[in-house]
Each structure stands twice: as structure tokens, then as C-alpha cells.
């Protein structure tokens, strides 16, 4: 297999056996002819928007080579000049035998725009990492806190301490035994979190300081990022820290893959696409303030609501693997068998 890259850094690591790599030829028929003469490809699989018409036309004229287009998240109709010109879009899309779209709704648009054939395979999103957790530690903490509802604030900056204080104060009005676990974005700021909640009269346990939570603990500070695997498994709800203030933070698929319902603010960059997928599935809710966050925690601690959101979140994270399997089936159908097999 030959992997031709455009903007992708040549040093980027790829899973599986290391493929041959080469820069993609420039968008000219002369460059394309030289590329074909050297590599003599058996099939073309184009990932991303097909924005090199001269190159594509030359590749399409190279015999009966199968040609697949996989937009892979590219918004073909948004801001693309060639898409706005029906003749050009039809000419480009018709160069491919099959276009593999993310959603069924996109298939009709692609066919109207000139695709010969189009099928939905789902979103090609990477599987989220499953953060590790010691089974013994999980059982120990579960036994220590008892059958209490838990919500988590993951990788939260100190600037959001007032929002978390307001949220916990609001949520505990209805759920008195509610435990808030916090993973500070900067572990050295754990003392600031502890002081703020203790000033409100709340019982705080700091695991980094050797303090383990008990049945009376109201706030537990995680022992650094390595504790997230534990608390993702414990928490019914997870708030993605930073989204009420500065953006950034953990990828939302991490807690979603562990069966946690999600809460976040409006600052979702750089994970905007993932948050949009979760929102469409009903797996996440948006808060605009600490009090708003507390109101949502209070409402979503109802077991039926949290369970529905958690299942939707898990379903979104599993779609990437299913889409990759469908893509693999299409690739096997067009690629020649490897030597010796």
C-alpha cells in the first residue's frame, strides 16, 4: 500500500504495518502521469475533499482502476467553490465509482451533485482510549463511599472553582449525599479547590494527600490525571472541565466510552465535531453557568434520564469502529489480494 499525504505530517504515526509514503503529486496532468508511471497503482482510495481536479482526471483515465472517495468528515458543500459549480462538481464526483458518506442524508445530495453511486458507512472517528483502572482500587473506593450518586468534573481549571461550588451547592439541595469528584487541570492547584469547598462548609478528601473519601465526603479531589479511569467508571455524570471558560480539556469520548452522561459549557474547541455528534444523539447537555450546571446535575441524576444519555454516549463512541469495518469491507472488494494470499 502507498500512502500519499498532502497536509498530513510525514512523521505522523499510523496504526498497523508501516505503509510506503510519498507526497501527493501536484494538481497537474504532467505530475499525475509521472506518478502513475512510477507507482502503477491498482486502485485509488481518496480521503477528504476531492479538490485536485487535474490530478483526479488523469488518475481516472488510467485504465479500469477502481476509484473510491471517502470524504471522512469533509463538508463537501460548505465553502467549496467547485461544489457551487454544478458542471464541475458533477465532473469531479463522476470520476469515482463509489462515494462513502458519513450519513444517509448526505447520499441524496451526493447523487444529485453527480456521484455515480453513494453509500452511508457512518463517521470515521477514532476509537476513544479506555483509561486504565485497578479493579481492586475501584472496589475499595466503591465500598468506602457506599451507594451514593457521583458526578465528576474532569480536568477542571481553577478559574472554574466558583462554578463548581455553585453547581454542587445547587445539586445537593435535592440530593444530599451527592459526591463531586474533581480532577484539577493542574494538580498543584488542588489546594485551591480544597480551600474553596471547605470555606463553604463541605467535607473534602484529597487523594493526593492520602485522604480517601468516605460516606460523609462531599467533594473528592482526584490524585492527578491517572485517577480519571477510576472516576469515569464511578460517575453517573461527567462535566468536561474548561468548557465553561477557556475551552480545551479532555476529549468527550473518554467518559462517553465508559458509560457516563456528559455535561459541558459552550467552549468546546478543539473537540467541536465530537460534541456535535454527542448533542445530535442526545448524549450531552450544555450549561452556561455554575448554577445552570447544578440544575442539570440535579435533574439528570434521575436514573432513567442518566441511563438513556449514557447509552447514547456509548453508542456514539462505538460508531467509529463500525464505520471502519464497513470501510474495510469496501477496500477489500476493490484492492487486489496481497502477494502470496
- Given a contact cutoff of 8 angstroms between Cβ atoms, the answer to whether 224 and 189 are in contact is no
- Given a contact cutoff of 8 angstroms between Cβ atoms, the answer to whether 52 and 31 are in contact is no
Q: Which percentage of the chain shows pLDDT scores above 70?
A: 89
CATH number of the domain enclosing 219: 3.40.50.2000
Q: In this structure, is residue 264 part of a structural domain?
A: yes
Same domain, 108 and 41: yes
Across 57-66, 191-200, 302-311, the highest mean pLDDT is recorded for 191-200
Same domain, 47 and 91: yes
Give the model's confidence band at 99: pLDDT under 50 very low, under 70 low, under 90 confident, else very high.
very high
Q: In this structure, is residue 57 part of a structural domain?
A: yes
CATH number of the domain enclosing 110: 3.40.50.11720
Domain count, the chain: 2
Same domain, 249 and 157: yes
Q: In this structure, is residue 129 part of a structural domain?
A: no
Q: What is the DSSP string of 175-200?
A: -TT-EEEEEESSGGGHHHHHHHHHHT
**pLDDT score recorded for residue 49:** 81
Same domain, 174 and 307: yes
**pLDDT score recorded for residue 275:** 95
Same domain, 101 and 141: no
**If you search the block for the grid coordinates 471547605, which residue do you land on?**
198
Q: What does the mean pLDDT of the chain come to?
A: 86
Q: In this structure, is residue 323 part of a structural domain?
A: no
Query: Any long-range contacts for 61-65 (C-beta under 8 Å, 24+ apart)?
Result: 62/36, 65/41
Burial 46-79 (b: 16+ CB within 10 A, else e): bbebbbbeebbebbbebeebbbbbbbbebebeee
Domain end marker among 120, 149, 171: 120
**pLDDT score recorded for residue 283:** 94
Same domain, 102 and 152: no
Q: In this structure, is residue 333 part of a structural domain?
A: no
* Cβ neighbours around 340 below 10 Å, total: 4
Q: What are phi and psi of 153, to 5 degrees?
A: -110, 105
Same domain, 86 and 164: no
Q: In this structure, is residue 177 part of a structural domain?
A: yes
Burial 165-195 (b: 16+ CB within 10 A, else e): bbbbbbbbeeeeebbbbbbbbeeebbeebbe
Domain end marker among 88, 120, 152: 120
**pLDDT score recorded for residue 187:** 93
Q: In this structure, is residue 111 part of a structural domain?
A: yes
Same domain, 159 and 208: yes
Same domain, 157 and 220: yes
Which has the minimum average pLDDT: 40-49, 75-84, 112-121, 230-239? 75-84
Same domain, 111 and 141: no
Helix (H) or strand (E) holding 22: strand 20-23
Burial of 161 (0-12, 13-18, 19+ CB in 10 A): buried
Q: In this structure, is residue 238 part of a structural domain?
A: yes
Give the model's confidence band at 10: pLDDT under 50 very low, under 70 low, under 90 confident, else very high.
very low
Domain hosting 110: range is 2-120
Burial 213-229 (b: 16+ CB within 10 A, else e): beeebbbbbbbeeebbb
Average pLDDT over residues 129-152: 93
Average pLDDT over residues 2-20: 56
> Does position 18 have pLDDT exceeding 70, yes or no?
no
Same domain, 313 and 176: yes
Average pLDDT over residues 95-120: 88
Same domain, 180 and 285: yes
Amino acid at each position: 500500500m502507498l500512502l500519499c499525504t498532502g497536509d498530513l505530517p510525514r512523521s505522523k504515526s499510523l496504526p498497523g504495518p508501516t505503509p510506503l509514503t510519498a507526497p501527493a503529486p501536484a494538481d497537474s496532468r504532467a505530475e499525475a502521469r509521472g506518478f502513475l508511471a512510477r507507482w502503477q497503482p491498482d486502485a485509488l482510495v481518496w480521503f477528504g475533499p476531492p479538490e485536485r481536479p487535474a490530478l483526479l482526471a488523469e488518475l481516472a483515465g488510467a485504465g479500469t482502476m477502481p476509484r473510491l472517495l471517502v470524504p471522512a468528515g469533509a463538508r463537501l458543500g460548505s465553502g467549496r467553490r467547485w461544489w457551487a459549480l454544478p458542471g464541475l462538481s458533477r465532473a469531479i464526483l463522476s470520476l469515482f465509482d463509489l462515494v462513502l458518506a458519513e450519513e444517509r442524508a448526505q447520499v441524496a445530495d451526493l447523487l444529485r451533485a453527480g456521484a455515480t453511486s453513494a453509500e452511508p458507512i457512518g463517521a470515521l472517528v477514532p476509537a476513544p482510549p479506555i483509561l486504565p483502572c485497578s479493579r481492586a482500587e475501584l472496589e475499595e473506593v466503591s465500598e468506602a463511599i457506599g451507594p451514593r450518586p457521583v458526578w465528576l468534573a474532569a480536568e477542571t481549571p481553577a478559574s472554574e472553582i466558583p462554578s463548581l461550588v455553585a453547581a454542587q451547592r445547587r445539586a445537593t439541595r435535592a440530593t444530599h449525599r451527592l459526591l463531586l469528584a474533581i480532577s484539577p487541570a493542574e494538580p498543584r492547584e488542588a489546594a485551591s479547590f480544597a480551600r474553596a469547598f471547605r470555606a463553604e462548609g463541605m467535607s473534602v478528601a484529597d487523594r493526593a494527600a492520602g485522604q480517601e473519601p468516605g460516606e460523609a465526603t462531599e467533594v473528592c479531589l482526584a490524585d492527578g490525571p491517572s485517577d480519571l479511569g477510576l472516576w469515569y467508571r464511578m460517575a453517573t455524570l461527567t462535566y468536561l472541565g474548561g468548557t465553561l471558560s477557556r475551552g480545551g480539556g479532555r476529549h468527550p469520548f473518554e467518559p462517553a466510552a465508559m458509560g457516563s452522561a456528559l455535561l459541558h459549557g459552550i467552549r468546546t474547541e478543539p473537540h467541536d465535531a465530537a460534541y456535535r455528534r454527542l448533542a445530535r444523539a442526545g448524549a450531552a447537555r450544555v450549561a452556561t453557568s455554575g448554577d445552570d450546571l447544578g440544575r442539570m446535575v440535579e435533574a439528570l441524576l434521575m436514573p432513567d434520564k442518566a441511563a438513556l444519555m449514557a447509552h447514547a454516549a456509548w453508542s456514539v463512541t462505538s460508531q467509529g469502529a463500525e464505520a471502519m469495518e464497513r470501510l474495510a469491507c469496501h477496500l477489500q472488494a476493490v484492492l487486489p489480494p496481497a502477494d502470496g494470499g
